[in-house]
Structure 1
Amino acid sequence: MTERLRIAVIGYGTAGQAVAVLFSRDDHIVDIFERAPAPGPVGAGFLLQPSGLQVLWQMGLLDAVRAHATPVHRLYGDTPCGRAVMDMGYAGLDARLCGLGMQRGALFTVLDEARAGAGQLHAGVTIIAVDHERGLLHDSLGRVHGPYDRVVAADGAASALRDGTGGTTLDRMYPWGALWCLLPAEDWPHLQELRQRYVAARRMIGLLPVGTRPGDDTPRLSFFWSLPRADFARWEADGLPRWLEELHALWPEAAGRFAHLHDAGQLARAVYRDAVVRHWHRGRLVLAGDAAHAMSPQLGQGVNMALLDALALRDALRAHGNSEAAMQAYQQQRRAHVAVYQRWSRWLTPLFQSDRDAWAKARDVLLGPMGRLPGGRGHMLRVLSGTQHGWFGALPLQPDFIDALAGRALPRVVPATA
């Protein structure tokens, strides 16, 4: 890099953190604007796929992540009567591959420490508009910040800046959300598996091992319960005992975990959006993370997509400088990867979160056999691992990364500036 840019990053979630780290390492001047007065993680846990883990490896952070995460080798979902609906393992792609279950607090800390104080974090500042031509930011108190050479909007699924790129083709709330919290793992027998239980498409329960976080050495599980957004108030009004009775009846094998649920205040509420933009950039403004491509969490790719966005944006600026060509290259690369996941997520969500019982019955009967068809299982595993690129391509995983993930190679060392 020969051009040192002044860059504004709006939002300090995974996308904003990764962008700030990568751009700071390239010696750009970075200002970060976060509306929360005390920035921190939002959410319980997630599954880092090989696609996102390769980005963290390239950033030199794989070992820091692995210190708190839990290897996940299998995704298994069944019904209360024991019918297996989903049974997929990473070994079907490569015996050395796995996912890593991780708490949001742990990844937030890893990325925050990797920034090492570079750039200036403006907490408690809400940016409500961006002048894409001049690179000026307008906040909720009427102040103006900038100008900036590049403005990266990474303000999440409910982005207030998404429309600034000149065309949102879809932006809607999903009718279903979820309740979630962290539970102690203790003697849970499936500590390397994401386990889910389905009752038609009306009930979906999950337990994902997510390891530890700085300051808390207790291994934990991320628990979620699918619920229509319109039923949040009814759930609270019905009271916890009634819900716990249903929960224990549907998944008695996990009763020991659910014994830790004793207060409705333990459970946070999550809602989801589906957003598709025609343009990822306009003038000096560019979108990253959920601001560019919010989708249902059904395929669990949100954090991984955010990391891939950050790396692709960094690489585009390295290759083309701060130009229209750089933004076009970034958009072209990421859209080819994201589009197939948005479509699959939109199609699959009603099979797991809806009132369409007939669809759920077809899912229970057909999903397993479809995964055993020639070519079908490989495609499903690539979608699972985040490595499907377009309808027929694959996102390459570097051999050195695969060895590092399997613990067979030295960690990648990244210089402070590249």
Structure 2
Amino acid sequence: MAPRTAEIAGAGLAGLTLATRLAQLGWHVRLHERNDELRMYGAGIWLWESGLQTLETLGAFDQATKRARTIREWRIADHGGKPLMSRYTGPGDRMLLPPRADLYAALIARAEYYGVDIVTSSLVTGMSADGRIEYANGKTSRADLVVAADGAYSRLRESIFCTAWMDFGSQAGIRMLIDRSDDQPDDTIIEYWHGARRLLFNPCTDEQDYIFLSAPVGDDRAGRLPVDRDLWAADFPAVADLVHRFAEDGRWDRLVNVRCRRWSAGHAAVLGDAAHAMPPNLGQAANTAFINAMALAALAEQNKDITTVLPEWERRQKAITDHVQRWSYYYGFVLGHCPSPLLGTRARTLGRLSQTQWFDRNLNRGARHQPMGSLAVH
């Protein structure tokens, strides 16, 4: 019997994960990238238990995490360094923090190992429920499964009328890798809050640390590149020395939310940020894409009828995805919309809530999720 076929548009983390897992299960997969080479932007990336189990199943874990720091604690603190909340990790609830480029290279290597046909300079302009994709040059292809994994600003999502809404949000972020200093912790993420501004320190490798800054979109001085070191040092005096080591080549991003009225139609689906882009407040966007890719492949392995698989996939995965996206959104809302007179109340409330089982269960629901078909479930 001929192998089933998949055409996937978008060779980012979501597209590579699905392509690799399908090929691992015997599919013939073609992965399209519109650029002339595979590129990964960003700095570091949070990999929770759900993402790590995905990488282990794909055989990408060792390469992706070879330089990664193992994180023991995620701490939120005020601008002076006073702790407001701590979230600890442990066996079965891991968190590692590699450079994003290491993760990307590992996924590319596994895709190539399993024979995924990666085609660069291939612009997919449309897809349809009957399993057809269209190219910019006018040609078409058909497959058992076609997937749009082309990011939050997906060109393909509306080919099957998926979008419910796209919210550009009120926050923007700056990401960078900086040279490591021995006076910084090597196993603790520290997220400093000052009003609506945030400075996030992430241990990444032996040589570099990952910095994420966020502020309201209208905060022109905070969003300036190169970074205004005097501003951030004054706002966060506890880490003023760290601020003055910031790199000049940071990346600025608008933090967006995407909600879809559905993820699929017939033989076509949307995946990753194209389906559920979210602010990086919980470090869960990529991990959520991973578990959804794994679930799609697992269900397709159980049932050969893709038109039956895709609605079942959405039914099973939508709840966990909506939950993670909702909590990420709420987090940003509380951070960015708290009036100045209530900042003390915000800090005290966070401290109390973080001690409850309800908060722990909801905050970490996505991070602790076991992907369908992962080695840990077998």
Same fold (TM over 0.5): yes
Q: 1:81 to 1:125 in 2, by over 3 A?
A: same
- 1:334-373 Cα deviation digits (max 9, x unpaired): 1121111122122221112346435544321111111223
1:215 aligned residue: none
State the one-letter code of the partner of 2:95. G
1:365 aligned residue: 348
2:246 aligned residue: 261
- The yes-or-no answer on 1:115 pairing with 2:115 is no
Q: 1:178 to 1:354 in 2, by over 3 A?
A: farther
State the one-letter code of the partner of 1:224. F
Aligned residues of 1:184 and 1:220 also touching (Cα < 8 A): yes
Q: Secondary structure at the match of 2:45?
A: strand
Q: 1:8 to 1:279 in 2, by over 3 A?
A: same
Q: 1:235 to 1:60 in 2, by over 3 A?
A: closer
Q: Measure the CA separation in 2 of the matches of 1:400 and 1:138.
A: 36
Aligned residues of 1:387 and 1:396 also touching (Cα < 8 A): no
Aligned residues of 1:226 and 1:353 also touching (Cα < 8 A): no
1:131 aligned residue: 128
Equivalent in 263, 268, 292 of residue 280 of structure 1: 263
Aligned residues of 1:371 and 1:380 also touching (Cα < 8 A): no
List aligned pairs for 1:287-298, cutoff 5 A.
287-298=270-281
Q: 1:377 to 1:345 in 2, by over 3 A?
A: closer
Equivalent in 225, 232, 252 of residue 213 of structure 2: 225
Q: Secondary structure at the match of 1:116?
A: helix
Equivalent in 219, 231, 234 of residue 249 of structure 1: 234
Q: CA deviation at 1:230?
A: 4.0
List aligned pairs for 1:116-265, cutoff 5 A.
116=112, 118-133=115-130, 135-140=131-136, 142-200=137-195, 202-211=196-205, 219-231=207-219, 235-236=223-224, 240=227, 243-261=228-246, 263=248
Q: Secondary structure at the match of 2:181?
A: coil
Q: Measure the CA separation in 1 of the matches of 2:220 and 2:125.
A: 29
Q: 1:36 to 1:400 in 2, by over 3 A?
A: closer
1:51 aligned residue: 50
**Structure 2 unmatched ranges of 5 or more:** none
Q: CA deviation at 1:387?
A: 2.6
- 1:203-235 Cα deviation digits (max 9, x unpaired): 100111222xxxxxx532111111333445885
State the one-letter code of the partner of 1:129. G
Aligned residues of 1:183 and 1:257 also touching (Cα < 8 A): no
Identity %: 21
Q: 1:386 to 1:359 in 2, by over 3 A?
A: farther
Q: Measure the CA separation in 2 of the matches of 1:41 and 1:99.
A: 21
More deviation, 350-359/23-32: 350-359
TM-score by length of 2: 0.91
Q: Secondary structure at the match of 2:46?
A: strand
Q: Secondary structure at the match of 2:345?
A: helix
- 1:38-95 Cα deviation digits (max 9, x unpaired): 211121111101111111122233233331211011011111234322211124xxx5
State the one-letter code of the partner of 2:246. L
Aligned residues of 1:165 and 1:279 also touching (Cα < 8 A): no
Aligned residues of 1:171 and 1:275 also touching (Cα < 8 A): yes
1:83 aligned residue: 82
- 1:129-149 Cα deviation digits (max 9, x unpaired): 11322x222233x32230222
Q: CA deviation at 1:193?
A: 1.1
- 1:365-411 Cα deviation digits (max 9, x unpaired): 111111223x235415534x6236xxxxxx58999859xxxxxxxxx
More deviation, 181-190/284-293: 181-190
Q: Measure the CA separation in 2 of the matches of 1:398 and 1:26.
A: 11
Aligned residues of 1:280 and 1:286 also touching (Cα < 8 A): yes
2:66 aligned residue: 67
Q: Secondary structure at the match of 2:204?
A: strand
1:406 aligned residue: none
TM-score by length of 1: 0.82
1:21 aligned residue: 20
**Structure 1 unmatched ranges of 5 or more:** 212-217, 389-394, 403-411, 413-418
Q: Measure the CA separation in 1 of the matches of 2:162 and 2:373.
A: 35
Q: CA deviation at 1:173?
A: 1.0
Q: 1:168 to 1:53 in 2, by over 3 A?
A: same
1:408 aligned residue: none
Q: 1:396 to 1:152 in 2, by over 3 A?
A: closer
- The yes-or-no answer on 1:100 pairing with 2:96 is yes
2:320 aligned residue: 337
Q: Measure the CA separation in 2 of the matches of 1:179 and 1:358.
A: 27
Q: Measure the CA separation in 2 of the matches of 1:378 and 1:206.
A: 20
Q: CA deviation at 1:273?
A: 1.7
Q: 1:63 to 1:359 in 2, by over 3 A?
A: farther
Aligned residues of 1:164 and 1:282 also touching (Cα < 8 A): no
Q: Measure the CA separation in 1 of the matches of 2:45 and 2:207.
A: 14
Count of matched residue positions in the alignment of Structure 1 and Structure 2: 377
Q: Measure the CA separation in 2 of the matches of 1:159 and 1:355.
A: 32
Equivalent in 319, 325, 337 of residue 302 of structure 2: 319
Aligned residues of 1:157 and 1:272 also touching (Cα < 8 A): no
Q: Measure the CA separation in 1 of the matches of 2:200 and 2:252.
A: 15
Q: Secondary structure at the match of 1:44?
A: coil
More deviation, 269-278/247-256: 247-256
- 1:308-341 Cα deviation digits (max 9, x unpaired): 1111111011011133221122111211211111
